[in-house]
């Protein structure tokens, strides 16, 4: 079939809207009509050329929601008409990791996914005979996309696509990092580096679980109003306190250091600050931000010897097919706020504006509606 999609032909070039070829779903795969997709900073990161797994040309996008239109042979868990959220972290429920119940990082299709291919090592996308790669196994910047059955979460049908698409990455990543990865306790002091589409979801989850101080750190003061609305109690602007005084400022504010910190920027310097502002003996720092290929983190080992813990979180530690439908329920029950974080909505033709707004610091989330 033909489908309309935004194609990333090469790094650092605007996406172009094309009518491309899409092969139908093979065994174990489903065809999904994407109704809406968010634009996450990770899409911009890959487009910047700094992603070691970035391949071009590709259809980017990993924060979508849509409707199953066709299923391949052997598919049993979804059928045409089902509403789904694509999962860049699938859940096969059979691999060593899924069976371990210790991690959400399902390994069933990770290697082909990182090569921009479907599990049978081929692509379903092409444009004028040229292969176009998949991205993160999802490619939601296409009106129709093909996904492995294990990479879709079936969700309730009364949930609006233009809001729940954000659960496909940002909401689950931020909320999940608090509840699954860190397991933040009531009364904890929490610090959030980066008040963007991920950091604000960390903030709303920290408030939800009853955190005490919720301290936000950002260079952009225009993020403060929204962060306060979501639960931020204190703000640290590194340009005001001094970029080398951020740790000191947080240790002062928390009376000794944070119980939990979350790095939601993707900068190795702020990752170090996030660890070092944690409380001696028990403070845990969770790395969420994705740093450029080749970047490395460092700290004095003494920071770890004296009890601080450095952890990472992918997709908020959530098991997609199990946890994503529950997060959709939380949204529908008014337990989490998604609507206010979606600051811009646009048609596919204007998708490059979403990247511009993100780089200019003017949006929290832009959502493309097909
Ligand atoms: P965003 O652009 O919406 O937000 C980033 C925020 O960081 C902005 O408010 C910006 O002003 C602030 N910032 C930038 N540099 C700063 C600095 N030096 N000090 C303080 N603040 C600074 O991005 P997002 O969509 O929220 O994504 C945040 C990061 O999380 C990205 O690296 C993204 O790739 C990553 N991410 C990771 C996962 C995961 O599963 N681990 C999932 C989604 C996104
Ligand atoms: N391809 C990158 C890795 C990027 C990365 O860490 N991705 C996160 C999700 S970001 C969503 O916005 C993730 O889930 N990682 C676990 C995994 O298996 O990719 C690189 O640097 O090579
Ligand atoms: Zn993302």
The gap from C-alpha 294 to its chain's centroid, in whole angstroms, comes to 21
Same structural domain, 147 and 186: no
Question: What residue ranges in the chain does DSSP mark as E strands?
Answer: 2-7, 16-22, 29-39, 63-71, 83-86, 125-127, 130-132, 144-148, 152-155, 190-193, 214-217, 234-236, 260-263, 284-287, 309-312, 342-347, 365-369
pLDDT at 46: 98
In a domain, 190, yes or no: yes
Percent of the chain with pLDDT over 70: 100
Q: Give the model confidence (pLDDT) of 229-283 as tens digits.
A: 999 999 999 999 999 999 999 999 999 999 999 999 999 999 999 999 999 999 9
* Best CA proximity match to 308, nearest among 251, 353, 253: 251
Give residue 349's pLDDT band: very low, low, confident or very high (50, 70, 90). very high
pLDDT at 297: 98
Query: How are strands ordered across the β-sheet holding 2-7?
Result: 2-7, 16-22, 125-127, 130-132
Give residue 153's pLDDT band: very low, low, confident or very high (50, 70, 90). very high
Same structural domain, 156 and 19: yes
Same structural domain, 135 and 271: no
pLDDT at 71: 98
Average pLDDT over residues 12-21: 98
* Closest atom of ligand 2 relative to the 314 alpha carbon: 14
pTM above 0.95, yes or no: yes
Q: Ligand 1: which residues within 6 Å by Cβ?
A: 40-42, 45, 169-170, 173, 193-199, 217-220, 223, 238, 264-267, 270, 288-290, 313-315, 358, 361
Tally of domains in the chain: 2
Q: In whole numbers, what is the pLDDT of the chain averaged over residues?
A: 98
Same structural domain, 206 and 351: no
Residue 323 φ then ψ, to 5°: -90, -30
Average pLDDT over residues 29-37: 99
Same structural domain, 7 and 144: yes
CB 256 within 8 Å of CB 279: yes
> Where in the sequence is the domain holding 97, given as residue range(s)?
2-168+338-369
Average pLDDT over residues 173-187: 98
Task: Work out the end-to-end distance of the chain between its first and last CA atoms, rounded to an integer number of angstroms.
Answer: 17
Q: Whose CA is nearest to atom 14 of ligand 2?
A: 314
Distance CA 36, CA 162 (A): 5
Distance CA 171, CA 158 (A): 19
Same structural domain, 164 and 180: no
Q: Give the model confidence (pLDDT) of 118-128 as tens digits.
A: 999 999 999 99
In a domain, 330, yes or no: no
Query: Which of 314, 330, 358 represents a domain boundary (last residue)?
Result: 314
Q: Whose CA is nearest to atom 16 of ligand 2?
A: 314
């Amino acid at each position: 079939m033909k489908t309309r999609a935004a194609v990333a032909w090469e790094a650092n070039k605007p996406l172009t809207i094309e009518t491309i070829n899409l092969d139908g779903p093979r065994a174990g795969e489903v065809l999904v009509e994407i109704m809406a997709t968010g634009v996450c900073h990770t899409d911009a990161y890959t487009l910047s050329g700094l992603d070691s797994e970035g391949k071009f040309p590709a259809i980017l996008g990993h924060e979508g929601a849509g409707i199953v239109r066709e299923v391949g042979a052997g598919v049993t868990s979804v059928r045409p008409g089902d509403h789904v959220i694509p999962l860049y972290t699938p859940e096969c429920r059979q691999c060593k990791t899924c069976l371990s119940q210790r991690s959400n990082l399902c390994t069933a299709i990770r290697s082909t996914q990182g090569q921009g291919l479907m599990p049978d090592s081929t692509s379903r996308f092409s444009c004028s005979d040229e292969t176009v790669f998949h991205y993160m196994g999802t490619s939601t910047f296409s009106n129709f996309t093909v996904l492995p059955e294990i990479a879709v979460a079936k969700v309730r049908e009364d949930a609006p696509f233009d809001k729940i698409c954000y659960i496909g990455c940002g909401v689950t990543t931020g909320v999940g990092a608090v509840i699954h990865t860190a397991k933040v306790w009531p009364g904890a002091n929490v610090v959030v580096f980066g008040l963007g589409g991920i950091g604000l979801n960390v903030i709303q989850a920290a408030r939800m679980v009853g955190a005490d101080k919720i301290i936000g750190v950002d260079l952009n003061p225009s993020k403060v109003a929204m962060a306060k609305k979501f639960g931020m109690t204190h703000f640290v602007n590194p340009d005001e306190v001094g970029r080398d005084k951020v740790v000191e400022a947080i240790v002062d504010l928390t009376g000794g250091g944070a119980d939990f910190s979350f790095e939601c920027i993707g900068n190795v310097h702020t990752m170090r600050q996030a660890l070092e502002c944690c409380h001696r003996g028990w403070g845990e720092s969770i790395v969420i931000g994705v740093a450029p290929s080749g970047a490395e983190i460092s700290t004095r080992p003494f920071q770890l010897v004296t009890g601080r813990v450095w952890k990472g979180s992918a997709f908020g530690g959530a098991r997609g097919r199990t946890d994503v439908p529950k997060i959709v329920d939380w949204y529908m029950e008014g337990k989490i706020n998604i609507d206010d974080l979606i600051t811009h909505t646009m048609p596919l033709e204007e998708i490059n504006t979403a990247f511009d707004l993100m780089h200019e610091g003017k949006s929290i989330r832009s959502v493309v509606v097909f």
